[in-house]
Amino acid sequence: MISDTIHIAIVEDDHEIRQTLQLILDGSNGFACKYAFPDAESAIASIPNLPVDVVLMDIDLPGKSGIDATRELKRNLKSIDFIMLTVQSDDDSIFESLCAGASGYLLKDTNPADLLVHIKEVFNGGSPMSSQIARRIINSFRIIDNPLSDRETEILKLLSQGMNYKDVAETAFLSPHTVKTHIKNIYSKLHVNNRAEAIYKAIKQKLI
């Protein structure tokens, strides 16, 4: 927001951690940390009116969670970067945080010197995270296993574009009857009974 110095806010319920972090950050060259909140509600009320660049957000807060707070704040404050700083590293927390708009995800045992580096990285458009957490995210891109044949996958892709039997038949140079048979086999392999669920499952399993 304001040049040179990176302005930070902390949202953390533990009094001890909050004060210590604030002291360290505010005392470091190039950083200012004038604002610290013990809960999501007070952060949501104040941060929109503060000159803040980066918010360090705890996930486990009393009342509203840090993920919800991030979602709400990020909605109207696109330029502020949020770093989740937490003890939790389960997949759900990570993905929810990222979907809510977090730019970084660090564990609380990150040492202060590294934390400063990571805050700078976020400020400069990066997304710091431990390589362990990165791996979890990367694994979400993997295909588990594909029960569909090439032809079936091709047809399912055409269906996902809104085509009906006739359209698919013409595109794939097939009889509509054949298309129908393929689709029935697709449903059977995916254990579904209709197009909507087939497409949903196929995308979630990265088959299309």
Partner DNA sequence: AATAAAATACCCCATAAGAGCGATTGATTC
Partner DNA sequence: GAATCAATCGCTCTTATGGGGTATTTTATT
Q: Does position 162 bind its own copies by CB under 8 A?
A: yes
Q: Phi and psi at residue 41, in whole multiples of 5°?
A: -60, -50
Least Å from the CB of residue 170 to DNA: 11
Distance CA 63, CA 98 (A): 20
| Cβ contacts of 76 within 8 Å, gap of 6 or more | 48
Residue with token string 């054949």: 178
Distance CA 196, CA 13 (A): 44
Of positions 103, 148, 169, 186, contacts its own copies by CB under 8 A: 103
Residue closer to its own copies, measured from CB, 7 or 118: 118
Asked if residue 178 lies in contact with residue 127, where contact means CB atoms within 8 angstroms, the answer is: no
Which residues of this chain interact with DNA, rule CB under 7 A?
149-152, 164-166, 172, 174-178, 180-185, 187, 193-196
| HSE of 8, CA atoms in CB hemisphere, 13 A | 29
Least Å from the CB of residue 58 to DNA: 29
Residue closer to DNA, measured from CB, 20 or 193: 193
Q: Does position 159 bind its own copies by CB under 8 A?
A: yes
Q: Does position 101 bind its own copies by CB under 8 A?
A: yes
Binders of its own copies among residues 115 to 154 (CB under 8 A) are 118, 121-122, 125-132, 134-135, 137-138, 141-143
